[in-house]
Amino acid sequence: MVGWVYFKPKRSAANVTFEYRKKKTLQKRKKSLLLLLSFYLCAQKYTRARKDKTNDNSDQRADFNKHPFLPWIQLQNRYQEILTDPSYAGQFVLFTCPHIGNVGINQLDMESTKVHMGATLVRHHALNVSNYRSTQTLDSYLKEQGVIGISDIDTRAITVRLREKGSLNGVVTTDMSISDDDLLKMSKGYDIVGKDLIGEVCVKEPYKWVDPTVGEWEFAEKAKNNKDKFNVVCFDFGIKNNIMRRLASFGCELTVVPANYSAEDVMKLNPDGILFSNGPGDPSAAPYAVENCKKLLGKVPVFGICMGHQVLGQAFGGKTFKMKFGHHGGNHPVRNEFTQSVEISAQNHNFAVDLDSLPKEVKVSHLNLDDGTCAGMVWEEKMAMTIQYHPEASPGPHDSDNCFAQFVDMIRANKGMAVSR
C-alpha cells in the first residue's frame, strides 16, 4: 500500500536518504522507515506501465526510486491545494506545520486532476478528520494517487538544514539492495536546472473553462458587479484551477491551450487577452514558450503569473536564474512599487528574473521584501503585466486578487471601454 510511512526511532528501517542526513546516520542502515510502502503502487503503477506483467522485482523496485529536490512549506490549511498544484512537479514537499491532514480531502478544492509532487513529508499525520466538506482522508487520497507520504520526522531540523544549505535533492526508495552511496549518487545526479517540466504537466489539447468562483466564496466586489465578457486564451504551463475561476469571475471566457500552442493559432482564436500561467521547472528549458511570448507581445494585453512571469521576463529580453531556496509558502511580503503598499502573498517558485537584465522600457512593479528579487513587471507599450506570486491563492491570502481586475482593465482599455477603477 502507498500512503504514510511512520518513522519510529527504535525500529529498524528501509532506505530514505537525503543529503541533509549526517554521515554517521548514513553509515547505519535503519531498516524500518518505509514500513507501509508498497505493493499497491507496484500493482497499480508498474502494471500500467508494463502490460506484460513481468515478475522482475528489480524493475518493479526501480519504479519507486524518487529523487526530486526538496523545498519546505510553512502552511497548515492549504495542503490539498499544494498537493494538486502542478508547479510542485519534480519536488518533494516538507510541511513545517506539525499537524497535516486534519481537514481531510474534498473534491472542490483541487487545483488540478491529480497530485504532482513526488512525496509529502510531515511531522504528524492527523488520523482524525474534522471538516464537513471532507470526503476522504489524506492517507486514502495519497494511496489513490500512488504518492508516498512520510510522517513522524523532525521537520524543523530538516528545515534548519534547508535554510542553511538551500533546497536539496533527496531519494525515497523501497529497494533494500541499493547502498547508501548509490542513493547519494542518485540524489546528487538530479538537477532541476534545465528541466522542461512544463511539457509533463500541461494539457495536450485545447479546452474551455467557464466556472467562476462559487458564489458563497466570492469576496471581490468588482467580480460581483462585473457584467462584461472577454475572450481570454490561457497558456497552460501547469495552470491552477483557481486561476481560471478567478478570471471567470471577472468576466473572462477561457480557452486553455497547450504550452507549445503556436502564436498564430492563438491569434486565430481572436483573444481579447492572453494569460501565461504558473508551472514547474526552469523557464530556460522551454524556449518554445518564450518565442510564443515574443510573437504575441503588443498584439493584445498579456498577463504572466509565476512561470508566466519568468517566461515573459525572458521574452522582454531579460534573464532568469536559479535561487538558493526559491520562495515557497503563504506569507511572503511584496511591495507594490507604484503605490508603496505591501501585500502578503502565496509563492512557489525556484527561479527569478534578473532585475539588472531587464530593458529600460520594463518597469518593476513589485519587489519581494525578503530578498529584493523581482516580484512583478509592467511593459505599458506592450500591454504586458506580470507577477511572480499567486493572486488566486486559496484559501488565501487575497491581498493580490486585484491583479485580475487590473488585467481585465487592460483588456477594457485596449477595446476602448471604460475601466472599472
104 touches 138 (CB < 8 A): yes
**How buried is residue 72: exposed, middle or buried, by Cβ count under 10 Å (0-12/13-18/19+)?**
buried
Domain-terminating residue out of 188, 206, 239: 188
Q: Judge if 178 and 219 occupy the same domain.
A: no
Q: Judge if 47 and 163 occupy the same domain.
A: yes
CATH code for position 257:
3.40.50.880
- Matching residue, cell 529498524: 12
351 touches 321 (CB < 8 A): yes
State residue 193's pLDDT score: 84
Other CB atoms within a 10 A radius of the CB of residue 221 amount to: 10
State residue 134's pLDDT score: 94
Q: Does the annotation count 216 as an active-site position?
A: no
State residue 66's pLDDT score: 52
Sign of CA dihedral 256, 253, 79, 161: positive
Domain-terminating residue out of 188, 212, 244: 188
- Written as one string, the DSSP assignment of 153-189 is S-HHHHHHHHHHH-SEEEEE---TTS-HHHHHHHHHT
Q: How far is CA 324 from CA 166, 350, 351, in A?
A: 5, 8, 9
140 touches 3 (CB < 8 A): yes
Q: Judge if 227 and 370 occupy the same domain.
A: yes
Q: Judge if 156 and 214 occupy the same domain.
A: no
Catalytic residue among 111, 366, 390, 403, which? 390
185 touches 17 (CB < 8 A): no
Q: Judge if 69 and 29 occupy the same domain.
A: yes
Grid coordinates of 248: 471567470
Coarse DSSP helix, strand, coil percentages of the chain, rounded to the nearest 5 percent = 30, 25, 45
Residue 193 lies in a domain: no
CATH code for position 153:
3.50.30.20
210 touches 245 (CB < 8 A): no
130 touches 101 (CB < 8 A): no
Residue 420 lies in a domain: no
Strands 273-276 and 230-236, how do they pair?
parallel
Catalytic residue among 81, 111, 343, 392, which? 392
Q: What is the pLDDT of residues 197-244, one digit of tens each?
A: 999 999 999 999 988 877 666 666 776 777 789 999 999 999 999 999
Q: Judge if 406 and 346 occupy the same domain.
A: yes
Other CB atoms within a 10 A radius of the CB of residue 77 amount to: 13
State residue 108's pLDDT score: 87
How many separate domains does the chain show? 2
Q: Does the annotation count 392 as an active-site position?
A: yes
State residue 7's pLDDT score: 41
C-alpha to C-alpha distance for 4 and 142, rounded to whole angstroms: 8
Angle in degrees, 0-180, between the axes of helices 241-249 and 402-414, rounded to the nearest 10: 50
C-alpha to C-alpha distance for 4 and 43, rounded to whole angstroms: 17
Q: Which residues of the chain have pLDDT under 50?
A: 1-2, 5-65, 67
Residue 144 lies in a domain: yes
State residue 218's pLDDT score: 64
Count of all residues that appear for the chain in the document? 421
Catalytic residue among 306, 343, 366, 374, which? 306
Q: Does the annotation count 19 as an active-site position?
A: no
Residue 177 lies in a domain: yes
Grid coordinates of 309: 512571469
Tell how far CA 83 is from the center of its chain.
9
Instruction: Identify the domain containing residue 255 by its residue range.
Output: 198-414
Report which residue type is found at 333.
P
Q: Judge if 305 and 346 occupy the same domain.
A: yes
| Residue 390 per-residue DSSP state | B
Q: Judge if 15 and 88 occupy the same domain.
A: yes
Residue 419 lies in a domain: no
